């Protein structure tokens, strides 16, 4: 699928992001690299504070600077480093090339404008369409994300819709200009389980139809399995493991991933104590030295506290940032 | 919404009646005989006092006096007259337009300067401009209107003319058309400018942190559009409601400003009315102010529903 000569759609290379707060410098992202080809779906998995959303916001260029600052690395979109572009050039790429949807659609939609106005704004501002034509396009889009009675509801306000419908409106807005990359930042976290499935299905379908690439940020392992091609697991502002989705589920090569997979409640083990990763996620203000996961890791040795593990190549297609990845991999196979 | 407005206006009727009674009682409780003091230093002859006292029912019990007054207002649309015989309705008509001009000009100044400063500060949060605006507004709220009034009158009204020979701001009176209102309007608006600037600053700064602003940026909207359309439309909701409610406050505050600049407005009329114990005048002016207040509040509530689609009145 991937050839060495092909330029990836998006390549994040050794990205560093800091937040300068009164309490000190928070190193939110510490050397994240990933790449994504056209049409591919990458899931970025991690708990709160792992840096997964911050990485996405850096790609989108919507970090609040200050307090945030990108202190190193490159973000290449179709070969161009976005970090070197002027603000005007980046504004043009947002919405046209890369679009984003957010966790809480109610607060992410402007309460004082109708949903039709907010969707059609994409066409009016980016394409210079007339109000009437842009509204027609908005209705088409609302149909496309399967909002019932789109024509009647186009002049309703966000608060008049249900949570699932609001997220559909966000999606309609994001896909309006056929972006090549859609970043979905926990798109289903705020929704009911049944609605979650519908939204994921819609995203998968739209992706198939349009051939856009998708970065799916989530902390929900269940959401990922059906949709993603590859998974990147983040911890303490780093990618600790990346792998094709089935390899990762079958045999994790990092103790953290392994812990996550074991934490999923299983019906066949009903009645037994739920497994949890020991300890608490580290404060990004004060990350442990060496491997950030070592205080919670069942595999830890002396070296883990002092040496930051590089992302070791595990086979052709995957990587693990654990000094003892072989052991973890073997333990999983047994 | 129409039904809501009508209900609110009906609610205003007992409020207005109550306020007339209250003011009537307060003026009644003031010491001194208004008829006797009509003559100034020279006591009027006892027969004159007797005739006038009877003519204005001043020898009758309090509630009967009130009945004479309110009966005239309700059944004959007669607001009474001063003890010199000038109809209160005429006085209100001539002074109200002066105060209205002053208030509207102050409101315009307040809106432009206050919102302007607030928005400027919010967009430069934490920078020198922001700190300066915050400090300046703090000074403005701390200095009484009496001080700002007399200082501005002296510096811009008197000294400016002496120094430059230019007659920019009249020292007092309304002889020069609207020009005479500029300085008093600034003085009247001073306090409100400070409050409004701070309100606009806080409101916009908060909105700029909202998720939907991040969405607008992520949609690829230019920064100018994000601020003017997406942010200001939300941030100005509390600002507009404050402005509406402030009309009543400004009219009330005009008493001092009109005094300083000697403008023949409601405030001046009220002051003289209280001084001379002219019962119908005081009741008329205060009730008019209460009415303005009620109507402004109603308009503000209606405006609120127009500006924020999440609010509906049934």
A329 vs B300, residue with greater confidence: B300
What ipTM did this prediction achieve?
A: 0.85
Of A94, A104, A110, the CB nearest to B230: A110
pLDDT at A1: 46
The structural domains of chain A, with segments of one domain joined by +, span 254-334
The 3-state DSSP class for residue A319 equals strand
- Residue of chain B whose alpha carbon sits nearest to that of A177: B219
Mean pLDDT across B27-51? 76
B243, B196 Cβ separation under 8 angstroms: yes
pLDDT above 60 for B178: yes
Q: Helix or strand or coil: residue A36?
A: strand
Are A110 and B215 a contacting pair at CB < 8 A? yes
H helix intervals, chain B:
2-29, 46-55, 62-76, 88-109, 115-123, 128-142, 145-152, 160-164, 179-208, 211-218, 223-225, 232-261, 266-275, 279-307
Beta strands in A170-314 (DSSP E): 181-185, 213-218, 230-235, 238-244, 312-314
Peptide bond into A66 cis (omega under 30): yes
CB contact under 8 A, B211 and A122: no
**Mutation for testing the A interface, residue in B215, B304, B311, B312 having most A CBs under 10 Å:** B215
Which residues of A fall within a CB distance of 8 Å from B222? 88, 91, 125
* Secondary structure (DSSP) of A111-126: TTS-HHHHHHHHHHHH
CB–CB contact B222 A159 (8 Å): no
Mean pLDDT computed over B81-91: 81
**Mean pLDDT (whole number) for B264-282:** 86
Whether B221 and A108 lie within 8 Å, measured CB to CB: no
**pLDDT string in tens for chain A (334-residue length):** 444 457 888 888 888 888 888 888 888 888 888 888 888 899 998 888 788 888 999 999 888 877 888 888 888 888 888 888 888 888 888 988 999 999 888 899 999 999 999 999 999 999 888 999 999 989 998 988 888 888 889 899 999 998 889 999 999 999 988 899 999 998 888 778 888 888 888 888 888 888 899 999 988 777 777 788 899 999 888 888 888 888 888 888 888 888 888 777 777 766 777 777 777 888 777 788 878 888 887 877 778 878 888 888 888 888 888 887 777 777 766 5
**Quick check: B217 and A62 CB within 8 A?**
yes
- Write the burial class of residue A99 (CB in 10 Å: 0-12 exposed, 13-18 middle, 19+ buried): buried
Contacts of B221 in chain A (CB under 8 A): 91, 95, 121, 125
Tell me the C-alpha distance between A154 and A169, whole Å. 10
CA distance A138 to chain B (A): 14
A271-285, B218-232, B267-281: range with highest mean pLDDT: B218-232
Beta strands in chain A (DSSP E): 10-21, 24-36, 41-45, 68-77, 80-81, 98-101, 181-185, 213-218, 230-235, 238-244, 312-314, 318-320
Listed residue (B302, B245, B217, B270) closest to B96, CA to CA:
B270
Look at residue B304 in the predicted model and tell me its pLDDT: 83
How close A172 comes to chain B (CA, Å)? Answer: 12
Q: Does pLDDT of B175 surpass 70?
A: no
Question: How far lies A265's CA from each of A72, A152, A270, A328, B16, in Å?
Answer: 39, 43, 8, 21, 68
CATH class of B89-307: mainly alpha
Give the pLDDT score at B314.
Answer: 64
| Pairing of β A24-36 and β A41-45 | unpaired
Please report the pLDDT score of residue A314 as a whole number. Answer: 85
The H-or-E segment that residue A60 falls in is helix A52-60
Identify the pLDDT of residue A46: 84
Q: Please report, rounded to a whole number, the percentage of residues in chain B having pLDDT higher than 90.
A: 19
In angstroms, rounded to a whole number, what is the distance separating the alpha carbons of residues A71 and A80? Answer: 18
A122 contacts B219? CB cut-off 8 A: yes
Q: What's the average model confidence in pLDDT over B51-64? A: 78
DSSP 8-state symbol, A5:
T
Domain ranges of chain B: 2-76, 89-307
């Amino acid at each position: 699928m991937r050839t060495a000569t092909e330029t990836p759609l998006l390549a994040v290379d050794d990205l560093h992001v800091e937040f300068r707060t009164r309490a000190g410098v928070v190193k939110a992202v510490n050397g994240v690299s990933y790449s994504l080809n056209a049409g591919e779906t990458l899931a970025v998995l991690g708990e709160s504070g792992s840096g997964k959303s911050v990485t996405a916001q850096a790609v989108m260029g919507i970090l609040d600077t200050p307090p945030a600052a990108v202190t190193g690395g490159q973000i290449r979109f179709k070969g161009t480093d976005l970090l070197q572009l002027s603000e005007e050039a980046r504004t043009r790429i947002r919405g046209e090339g890369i679009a984003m949807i957010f966790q809480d659609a109610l607060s992410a939609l402007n309460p004082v404008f109708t949903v039709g106005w907010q969707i059609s704004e994409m066409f009016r501002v980016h394409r210079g369409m007339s109000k009437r034509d842009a509204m027609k396009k908005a209705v088409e889009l609302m149909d496309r994300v399967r909002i019932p009675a789109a024509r009647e509801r186009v002049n309703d306000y966000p608060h008049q819709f249900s949570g699932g419908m609001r997220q559909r409106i966000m999606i309609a807005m994001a896909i309006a200009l056929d972006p090549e990359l859609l970043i979905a930042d926990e798109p289903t976290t705020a929704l009911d389980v049944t609605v979650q499935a519908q939204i994921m299905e819609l995203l998968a379908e739209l992706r198939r139809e349009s051939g856009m690439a998708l970065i799916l940020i989530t902390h929900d392992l269940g959401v990922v399995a059906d949709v993603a091609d590859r998974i990147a697991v983040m911890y303490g502002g780093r990618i600790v493991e990346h792998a094709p989705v089935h390899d990762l589920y079958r045999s994790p090569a990092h103790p953290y991933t392994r812990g996550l997979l074991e934490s999923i409640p299983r019906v066949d083990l009903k009645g037994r104590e739920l497994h949890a990763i020991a300890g608490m996620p580290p404060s990004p203000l004060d990350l442990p030295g060496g491997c950030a996961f070592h205080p919670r890791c069942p595999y830890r040795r002396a070296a883990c506290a002092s040496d930051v593990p590089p992302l070791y190549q595990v086979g052709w297609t995957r990587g693990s940032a654990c000094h003892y990845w072989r052991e973890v991999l073997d333990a999983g196979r047994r | 919404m129409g039904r809501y407005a009508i209900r609110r206006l009906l609610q205003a009727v007992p409020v207005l009646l109550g306020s007339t009674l209250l003011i009537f009682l307060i003026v009644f409780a003031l010491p001194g005989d208004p008829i006797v003091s009509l003559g100034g230093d020279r006591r009027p002859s006892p027969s004159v006092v007797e005739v006038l006292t009877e003519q204005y029912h001043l020898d009758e019990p309090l509630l009967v006096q009130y009945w004479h007054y309110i009966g005239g207002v309700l059944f004959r649309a007669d607001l009474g007259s001063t003890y010199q015989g000038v109809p209160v309705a005429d006085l209100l008509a001539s002074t109200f337009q002066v105060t209205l001009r002053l208030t509207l000009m102050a409101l315009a100044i307040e809106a432009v300067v206050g919102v302007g400063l607030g928005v400027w500060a919010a967009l430069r949060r934490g920078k020198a401009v922001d700190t300066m605006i915050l400090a300046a507004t703090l000074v403005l709220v701390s200095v009484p209107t009496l001080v700002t009034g007399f200082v501005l009158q002296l510096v811009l009204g008197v000294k400016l003319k002496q120094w430059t020979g230019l007659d920019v701001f009249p020292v007092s009176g309304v002889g020069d058309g609207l020009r005479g209102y500029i300085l008093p309007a600034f003085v009247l608006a001073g306090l409100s400018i400070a409050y409004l600037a701070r309100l606009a600053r806080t409101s916009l700064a908060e909105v700029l942190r909202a998720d939907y602003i991040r969405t607008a940026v992520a949609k690829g909207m230019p920064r100018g559009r994000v601020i003017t359309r997406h942010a200001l439309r939300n941030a100005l909701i509390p600002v507009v409601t404050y402005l509406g409610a402030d009309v009543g406050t400004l009219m009330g505050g005009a008493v001092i400003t009109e005094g300083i600049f000697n403008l023949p407005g409601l405030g001046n009329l009220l002051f003289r009315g209280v001084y001379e114990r002219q019962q119908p005048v005081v009741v008329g002016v205060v009730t008019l102010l209460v009415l303005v207040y009620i109507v402004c509040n109603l308009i503000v509530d209606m405006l609120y529903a127009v500006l924020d689609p999440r609010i509906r009145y049934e």
